[in-house]
Structure 1
C-alpha cells in the first residue's frame, strides 16, 4: 500500500503524480527511506539514515516530470552510507554524508560537463584532440555523418500513436543495411534529411515488425511503451520480481572465509581493493570511475577491435589504469586471467553470457575465488534484467527509456501527440546504473569482509527507469514542470534528439540561467592530464564530514584510451 499521495494517469496509463510538491532535499530524504527499506541487506534504521544530510535548491534543475534528480541524490546517499560502514570495518570514523542535491542533479550530465584548456565538450570534440591523444576507439562510428548520427533516434511507425526507438549500437552500416539504407549516403547532408530518410522506412512497418527485424539481426530496438504497457509485458513482470539494488552471496561459497580489508595509509573505504572493469560506453565505466574515487585500484580492459565512444574518455577514465587486450590472442587472454587472479571485483557490462562463452563469466570467477580461498564480487550490468526472455538482448540507456515508459511520459509532459516519445534529458539510466553498481559493490565488499563468500550483483538499466516511475516516488505535477521550464528556458526536446543533442540543450539552459548551477567552481576538480594542462571534470557527488582524506577523490585525472 503506497503511503505517498498521488493521482493517477496524468501522464498516461500507469503514471502516479504527486498531489503536493516537496522540495528536492526533503523529497530525497523521504525516498531514501523507501529504497533503504526495499533493499535486502541495507541498514534502514532511521537513525542510520539520518547520517545523510541533503541540501540544495527546492526546485529540480532537470526538465520534465520524472524525479531523476531525487533518485540520483538517493543513490549517492546510499553509496555514502555503505561506504561509511566499510570505513567503520577499517576502524575509520567518517562522520556524516553531505549530498548537495544540485550537484547530484548535474551528475547525469557528467560526460558533458568537462573543460580542457578553456574548451568545452563540443569544442573538444571538434578540435581533434581526442584522436591525437591515445587510441582512437571511435573512428567516427556515430559522429561521422548525419545518417550515422540519426540512427540513434525515436521514429514514428506505420501504426498511429506508436513510436519506435532504433539504435544502431556501434555498427550503423550493418544496422542501416538491414533496412536498405546506406550509413554513408552522400546525398544526405543534414541531420534533418537523415531523420526523414530513415523515417520513410520506419513508417512502412509496424512497431512489432521493426522489433522482430531488430531481434532477428541481433540489433537494438524497442517499441515506446507506456509505464502500464511495460508492467504488463512478461519481461516487465520478470524484472519486477527483483529489487532495484540486487545482490546476494553466491550459493556454494559460504565456506570461503571472510576477507579482511587491505591495510593501507589511504583512508578511503576501498583503498587496496582491485577492480577489473570490462565494459564500454557509460554505465559500466561510471561504476569504475566511482570505485576509483573511493580508493579502488581500477583496471579498465579495452579491446583494439571493439569500438567505443571516444569523447567519454575525458570524463569516465578518471583515476583508472588502462590495459589493451585482444582476447582472440591466447597471450592476451592469459594476461587477462593473470590480472583477474587477485581481483576483488569484476564489473562487466557486455551482453549477458557473452563473457561466459569466453570463460570469463560468473561461474568461472566463482571457481577462481574458490581455488584461492578468497571471495570475489561479480557485477553484471545489462538493459532488461537478470532473467526473462529479453535478458540476452542488447540494449542501451535509450532502449531502457523507451521500454520502461520514461520516454512516453516525457512526450505526454511536453504536450506532444499521443504516443510521441522523447528521451529523458540526459543519460540518466546510464549514470544511475553506474551509481547502483557502485553501491552493490560496497555492500558486497562489506559482507565479504564480515561473512566471507563470493557475491553476485545484477544491475539493469530498465530497473533504474522503472524505479523513477513507482507510485511511492511519484512524478512532478504539470505546474512544477512549467516552473522549471520557465526558470531554465530549455529548448524544445523532440523524438529525433539523441543524447548529445539533449546534453547540449540542458547545459545551454543551465548556463543561460542567472544561478549558473553548472558553472559553480566548487562542483569541479582540475587535473593536468595528457589531454591538457587544465582538465576540469565534475567532482564526486558526495563527501564525508570527516574531510578529504576519507572522502571520494581521484588520484589522477582521466587517462586516454589504449593505455597510453
Structure 2
C-alpha cells in the first residue's frame, strides 16, 4: 500500500494532516485496505475488498468499519448458502451516522423540536432523573474548564450522579444562576483553582469521570497510552482453555437471510456506545435483550433511537432474585456485551471468567465483549469514563480547540459523539469476527472495545486530518454556529442538526431513515437507518421492530422470543 503523505504539527504536537485533499469515497477505499491489513482475523484477500462500493459526496466522515462489518457478514452468509452480491455504502448516509442518537422524529416533530417544546421529556419513561438537565448547574457540570496550569484544560463530567460532583467541589447544585453561562462561570471559578493533576486525583477519589485535555503527543507519552498501544483497535481472541468447545453453526431462520438471524445477545449497557453496538447487531438479525436497572439514570432521547428491535427488561442486580433471573437469561446467550467499568460485573458473578465457565458447562462457546473507555490494562483501565473522557484523553478535544482558533491547550468537544459511534461499530465487527470463528473452530471468545482506541487510530499518519482549507470549506457549506468549551454534547448536536437542516437536504433524504408507522412513542417514528446495503436486499440490515421505552418488557425469556 502506498505511503499516505501528511504534514506534522498543523493542529499542534502529534497531529498529522493530509498534504492534499482526497474525496471521501476514494479515501474510504484506501483506509479499508489499511485496516484490513492491520486487523487480526480479517481477510487479507484484496479481491474481497473490491466488493465494496463507496458512493456519495466528498466531505462526510469515513464509513470504513461498516464496510468491514459488511465483508464479514458476507462471509457468514456464504456458510448459509446466501449470496449477498455487491456491497454499497453511501458516504452521505455515513456522515450522518455519528448523529444517530439524535436523528429522531415522532408525530411530525424532530428531536430538536421535542426538546424545545418540552415533549421530549414526556416520551417513554423519564429515565434521566434530572441528572443533566434539572437546572443550569447540572447542565454545565459536563463541560471543559481551564485549570490553574497555564494552557491546560480539563474535561469535567458529573457522571449521572451530579450530587457527588457538587459535594466534592463544594458547589451548590441549586445556585441562583440565571442561565447556563452564569453556571459555567460559577463552576469555572472553582475548577480553575485546581491543577490538572489535582483534578485527576480528586475525581478518582470520588469515583467521578473526567480527564485532562491532552494534545495527541501528550497522550502518547503517558503510561496508559503505551499500554493501550499494545492492543489492536479491533481486538478479539479465543479464550485460553476453550478450544475443546465444539463449533456452533449459524442458525437458519426461515424468511430471514440476515447474517445474525437467530443469534441471542444480552446487552448490559447504557448511554451510547454499548447500545449502538447492540442496535447494529439487531439490524443484522440478532435478538437482543437490553437488561436495564430501574435505579440508574440514562439520557431520555436514547430510548427513542437506540432500542430498535430490542427487548428492554428491568432487573435490579442488587436483588438476588433478579440476579438469578439474569443468570438464566445469560445461559441462553451467544453474545454478552457489558459496557460498565472493566471487571465491574465480576463482583456480581457475571464477569468474564464466570461466563466462560457457564459456557463450558453448557458445552457451547460464547462471545464476551468488554466495552469501556481506557482498555483492558494500564493505570486507567478500571476507571469510569464517557465519550467526553476519551475525547479529552486522546487529543481530539485539543485538536478541535486548535481547529476553531482557540488559544493553546483549550479543549472543545467534537461536535458529534464520534468515539461512541465508532466504538459501537468496532464492537459489532468484533462480534461478527468472533461468531464467525466460533462457527468454524469452536471455543469462546473475548473482545475488548475501547473508546480511546477508537479515537487515537483516527489521529495516526495513516488516517490524516483535514487541511485547514478543507475545514473552512465544510464550515462554508453548512455555516455551523460557533462551538465552544462550555458546550455539552446535546448543544453541539443541535448546532450540527441546524446546519444540516438549513444548508443541505440530508435530513429530507428518507432513503437514509428507518420508518415505523406506529411505535410505543407515537406515530411515524423515524430513526437513522442502517448504512450497509447488499445487492441481495433480503440479506441487508434492517430493523423489523420499532424502538421501545426504558424497561418496556416486564417479563422476558428466550423461549418467548
Aligned to 2:559: none
Alpha-carbon distance in 1 for matches of 2:302, 2:167: 27
Query: Could you tell me whether the CA contact under 8 Å between 2:291 and 2:315 is conserved in 1?
Result: yes
Displacement of 1:123 in angstroms is: 2.7
Match of 1:167 among 147, 157, 161: 157
Query: Could you tell me whether the CA contact under 8 Å between 1:323 and 1:562 is conserved in 2?
Result: yes
Alpha-carbon distance in 1 for matches of 2:502, 2:523: 27
1:16 aligns with 2:5: no
Match of 2:442 among 452, 457, 471: 452
Displacement of 1:133 in angstroms is: 5.1
Displacement of 1:418 in angstroms is: 0.5
Displacement of 1:132 in angstroms is: 4.5
1:280 aligns with 2:270: yes
Displacement of 1:134 in angstroms is: 4.1
Match of 2:302 among 277, 293, 312: 312
Aligned positions, number: 551
Alpha-carbon distance in 2 for matches of 1:137, 1:224: 30
Match of 1:208 among 160, 178, 197: 197
Match of 1:300 among 287, 290, 311: 290
| Partner SS for 1:175 | helix
Alpha-carbon distance in 1 for matches of 2:174, 2:301: 21
Aligned to 2:242: 253
Alpha-carbon distance in 2 for matches of 1:409, 1:494: 13
Aligned to 1:413: 403
Match of 2:544 among 533, 555, 559: 555
Ranges in structure 2 where 5+ consecutive residues have no aligned partner: 554-561
Aligned to 1:192: 181
Q: Deviations over 1:476-500 (max 9, x none)?
A: 1111111111111111111001110
Displacement of 1:279 in angstroms is: 0.3
| Partner SS for 2:185 | helix
Displacement of 1:111 in angstroms is: 1.1
Ranges in structure 1 where 5+ consecutive residues have no aligned partner: 61-68
Displacement of 1:182 in angstroms is: 1.9
1:347 aligns with 2:337: yes
Alpha-carbon distance in 2 for matches of 1:162, 1:172: 24
Aligned to 1:242: 231
1:100 aligns with 2:128: no
Aligned to 1:524: 513
Aligned to 2:5: 5
Alpha-carbon distance in 2 for matches of 1:26, 1:102: 13
Match of 1:423 among 403, 413, 420: 413
1:218 aligns with 2:207: yes
Alpha-carbon distance in 2 for matches of 1:301, 1:53: 37
Displacement of 1:421 in angstroms is: 1.0
Displacement of 1:124 in angstroms is: 2.4
Alpha-carbon distance in 1 for matches of 2:346, 2:499: 44
Q: Deviations over 1:68-126 (max 9, x none)?
A: x12xx001101111111111111111112111111011000001111001111123245
The runs of at least 4 consecutive aligned structure 1 residues that moved more than 6 Å come to none
Aligned to 1:52: 52
Alpha-carbon distance in 2 for matches of 1:162, 1:2: 37
Query: Could you tell me whether the CA contact under 8 Å between 1:2 and 1:471 is conserved in 2?
Result: no
Alpha-carbon distance in 2 for matches of 1:325, 1:59: 44
Displacement of 1:327 in angstroms is: 1.1
Query: Could you tell me whether the CA contact under 8 Å between 2:53 and 2:89 is conserved in 1?
Result: yes
Query: Could you tell me whether the CA contact under 8 Å between 1:133 and 1:530 is conserved in 2?
Result: no
| Partner SS for 1:410 | helix
- Alpha-carbon spacing, 1:130–1:560, altered in 2? closer, same or farther (3 Å): farther
1:511 aligns with 2:475: no
- Alpha-carbon spacing, 1:504–1:131, altered in 2? closer, same or farther (3 Å): closer
Match of 1:140 among 130, 151, 160: 130
